[in-house]
Amino acid sequence: MLTPTKKLLLKAQAGNYAVGAFNINNMEIAHAIMEAAEREAAPVICQTSEGSLAYAGMDMLLAIGRQLAVASKIPISLHLDHGKHPEVVKEAIRAGYQSVMYDGSAHPFARNVEITSEVVKLAHQGGVSVEAELGALSGIEDFVTVRQRDAHLTNPLQAREFVKKTRCDFLAIAIGTSHGAYKFTGRSKLDLLRLKEIRSRVSVPLVLHGASSVPKSLVKQVEKFGGDLGKPMGVSDRDLRQAVKNGICKVNTDTDVRLAFTAGIRKILKREPDEFDPRKLLAPAYEEMVAVIRWKIKLLGSSNKA
Ligand SMILES: [Zn+2]
């Protein structure tokens, strides 16, 4: 059942859990997200990045998402992830997404405020909510000094001013996570104190990007069947639980689903060299994706919250 993202996230905020937001590129991934959400009785967000739109097209991905939503009683919303070009964001608002992200985090503060405010005005006219971003996503270990760290991670006072000025509905913050599978060279480490300070100053739901866990079992399976991923490292379960406990209401996960997909594909290609039916080749990938999404939903505390 298509449901406004804002409704999902305000409920999560009140209930102190987070809704999983998973990226879709094709039908199999979207299907796996929906099956996992059904089995966990969990609300869920399906999101498309500008990259996935270039790959499959906005109309195609929206049609897949809508079809899955009408066939289910699970509350689900369709969200534009990392809209960096205002034209794409405007197109998504018109096309019928429940929410959009405008990511102006690469701009200086004033410019980010300016463009985000314009996007928010337009989106709200169409009944669409907006996620905005403040701060740069990079691992804490990338900063040598405290000053460097403060310059990149989200500043709590600026966050308050930003939300007040832009009237955005949700805020993505930088507290030490980064995109992809190689987030930390040592231990997983998030700036939870900073999160608490932001939470005390900002009332809108907070969003964590770059929050994949990179499960060791999936990495091992990829490697067992011929893959070579180097030394990937994700956010620890403990850090993620603490982040949710301290106010994160939407957690973005893409890498874990990609790893699950790859682990499933590698396994069947190696084990059944004579198989060439795409449906059979994709079946194990599907099962791996459902499993990792269910696990993630449980970790975020959103099981049985549908
Ligand atoms: Zn992101």
Q: Express each pLDDT in 218-276 by its tens digit.
A: 999 999 999 999 999 999 999 999 999 999 999 999 999 999 999 999 999 999 999 99
E-assigned strands of 118-262?
Answer: 129-134, 170-173, 206-208, 248-253
pLDDT at 139 over 90: no
81 CA from centroid of ligand 1 (Å): 7
Per-residue pLDDT band for 140 (boundaries 50, 70, 90) equals low
Higher pLDDT, residue 181 or 79: 79
- Domain ranges for the chain: 5-215+231-255
Write down the pTM of the prediction.
0.96
Note the pLDDT of residue 141. 64
CA of 82 to the centre of ligand 1 (A): 6
**Lowest model confidence (mean pLDDT) among 131-135, 138-142, 181-185, 196-200:** 138-142
Calculate how far, in angstroms, residue 101's C-alpha sits from the geometric centre of ligand 1: 10
Report the catalytic residues.
81
Domain spanning 5-215+231-255, CATH class: alpha beta
The DSSP line for 93-116 is: HHHT-SEEEE--TTS-HHHHHHHH
What the block records as the tokens of 246 is 């301290």
Q: HSE of 181 in the Cβ direction (CA atoms, 13 Å)?
A: 16
